[in-house]
Amino acid sequence: MGTALACLVVASVLAPSSAQARYYYSPYGFFDVRGAIEAEWWRQGGPRGLIGNPLTNEIPTRPKVGAFNHFMGGASIYWSPATGAHDVRGAIRDRWASLGWENGHLGFPVTGEGVIGNPYDWKRYSHFQGGSIFYSPATGAWEVRGAIRERFASLGWEAGLLGFPVTNENGTPNGRGRYNHFQGGSVYWSPATGAQEVHGAIRATWASLGWEAGPLGFPVTSETRTPDGAGRFNHFQGGSIYWSPATGAHEVRGAIRAAWASLGSEDSLLGYPVSDEYAVPGGRRSDFEYGSLVWNPVDGVSIDAEVTGSGDARIPILPGLFAVGLEAVGSGATAVETAKAGWWGPNPITDGTGSWTRTALVNLGGQRATELVVTTDGDWTIDLLPVSALPMIGPDEVVSGSEGAVLHYTGPPGQLLFEATDANAHVRIFTRGGVYVDTLWAGVGSPAYWPVGEDVLLEVRQADVPWTVVVDPY
């Protein structure tokens, strides 16, 4: 540090234009080298150093105030009152020249050419007023500047995960930002997001989706370790990409991402994403390690997953209409209800004793519970089913069963026929949105009838007996 400060003092005192000229011989003639440039030249070994003999007289820079000499070793020494005198060499000098020398956005050099690691590896850098140029034999010489350079520096420069730059800073094709690519990744900048790095499998997935011009937009974080320590993620303007060794890198966005986050993201019952978001009939879907999230404009986002356990449990759910299929195994009592949801309070879903299987609707009539409560001493399996995944029943289609079930009728308005061997069995009728319409009780020995609309949900309850449902169109 003391040597560097001394050089700056010499440079400011021995301004080239005010110093006495000395002429030095080279095979191309005699050239003057003076002041701070002369002092730096001799510090670099003079005519016997790598810079070699002068090729030019001292030349003033225009329009910026400064001066320079070119030398035979493919190098130049530039001076300005603000920066002092510093050498620029080889491929770094060529890159700087291509960017406009001192009149380009990099300005004058503020350091000489620095050596990175083993001198014989020929890895070099130079810092300038407006940025830096880094060189390695594998990558060539490229400039880095501004907020991208700051991010690069914060990650350990070329010794960090990014390695050496492999491009200059460029404008993004959509005109909204800037980027540099590096050996180990990229740094992208926009006014709204700042400069963020993205690398590895996450970067590859982002690239496959169209980079910043795709649905995710610019990154708003650099790559970050997940709280569980098992994975990595980047957040973007339009979503996120999560990676783990077991699942790879996949994007999650929009309403599905918001729902996944509300459940606890990768720490939720769903785990890490195993697919990108994709189209399904009527909506969109993302698959995760232990289930899926499904979106459509009618139901919003619903969970499609199987959860198993033993004994009492609390299961996070989404606050929308869906069905729960329960298989209880044991000899004791098992009950499932929703936890308190606003003024609604707890709501029983289904219960029974011993081993049994039933399906029922959850969050009917606008309820927005976000948790299921299972009470049992035995084992259980719960299927969380979106309405779109319920068994479909069409016109004149006969459906039979012997357990509680939920059916989705789509067809012209008609007459519902329900028959069971126990008068306690009944069908509750709901609109597609979960609004209660009416209840049809079993007609033992003869079917019971009720008019239904063209898109309704039929919930068969208290039906641990044979039953039959059919809709006869008008």
333 with 355, same domain: the answer is yes
189: in domain: no
Structure tokens at 299: 């139901």
Beta-strand runs (E) in 46-204: 59-60, 67-71, 75-80, 84-89, 114-115, 124-128, 131-136, 140-144, 170-171, 178-182, 185-190, 194-198
Provide the pLDDT for residue 344.
55
Taking 50 as the threshold, does the pLDDT of residue 13 lie above it?
Answer: no
377 with 400, same domain: the answer is no
Provide the pLDDT for residue 339.
83
Provide the pLDDT for residue 405.
95
Q: What is the pLDDT of residues 376-390, one digit of tens each?
A: 999 999 999 999 999
365: in domain: yes
468 with 394, same domain: the answer is yes
398: in domain: yes
374 with 395, same domain: the answer is no
Provide the pLDDT for residue 463.
78
304: in domain: yes
Q: Check if the beta carbon of residue 14 is closer than 8 Å to that of residue 36.
A: yes
336: in domain: yes
Mean pLDDT of 216-243: 97
Taking 50 as the threshold, does the pLDDT of residue 434 lie above it?
Answer: yes
462 with 445, same domain: the answer is yes
Q: What percent of the chain has pLDDT over 70?
A: 95
Average pLDDT over all residues of the chain: 92
Name the residue with tokens 């049809």. Answer: 440
Neighbour count for residue 114 (Cβ, 10 Å)? 13
317: in domain: yes
Give how far Cα 283 sits from Cα of 211, 288, 323, 456, Å: 24, 17, 18, 19
Q: What percent of the chain has pLDDT over 90?
A: 84
314 with 383, same domain: the answer is yes
Give how far Cα 267 sits from Cα of 157, 224, 264, 304, Å: 33, 15, 5, 17
Structure tokens at 101: 């020398």
| Weakest mean pLDDT among 136-145, 233-242, 325-334 | 325-334
Mean pLDDT of 211-233: 97
Among the candidates 388, 415, 436, a domain finishes at 388
Mean pLDDT of 179-196: 98
Mean pLDDT of 246-251: 98
CA-nearest of 382, 393, 405 to 304 is 382
What is the span of the domain harbouring residue 450? 390-474
Provide the pLDDT for residue 289.
98
Q: What is the pLDDT of residues 105-156, one digit of tens each?
A: 999 999 999 999 999 999 999 999 999 999 999 999 999 999 999 999 999 9
Among the candidates 388, 411, 440, a domain finishes at 388
Provide the pLDDT for residue 22.
84
Give how far Cα 177 sits from Cα of 127, 142, 239, 373, Å: 23, 19, 18, 49
CA-nearest of 219, 251, 50 to 151 is 219
Provide the pLDDT for residue 16.
62
Helix (H) or strand (E) holding 204: helix 200-208
Q: How confident is the model at residue 61 (pLDDT cuts 50, 70, 90)?
A: very high
328 with 362, same domain: the answer is yes
305: in domain: yes
Provide the pLDDT for residue 11.
34
CATH number where 454 lies:
2.60.120.380
Number of structural domains, the chain? 2
338 with 404, same domain: the answer is no
Q: How confident is the model at residue 19 (pLDDT cuts 50, 70, 90)?
A: low
Q: How confident is the model at residue 4 (pLDDT cuts 50, 70, 90)?
A: very low
Provide the pLDDT for residue 430.
96
Taking 50 as the threshold, does the pLDDT of residue 10 lie above it?
Answer: no
Residues 6+ apart with CB under 8 A from 165: 134, 139, 142, 143, 144, 152, 180, 181, 182, 183
Length of the chain measured in residues = 474
Among the candidates 338, 370, 388, a domain finishes at 388
Helix (H) or strand (E) holding 292: strand 291-296
431 with 376, same domain: the answer is no
DSSP 164: S
311 with 379, same domain: the answer is yes
349 with 382, same domain: the answer is yes
172: in domain: no
> Vertex 350, ends 261 and 424: CA angle to 5°?
150
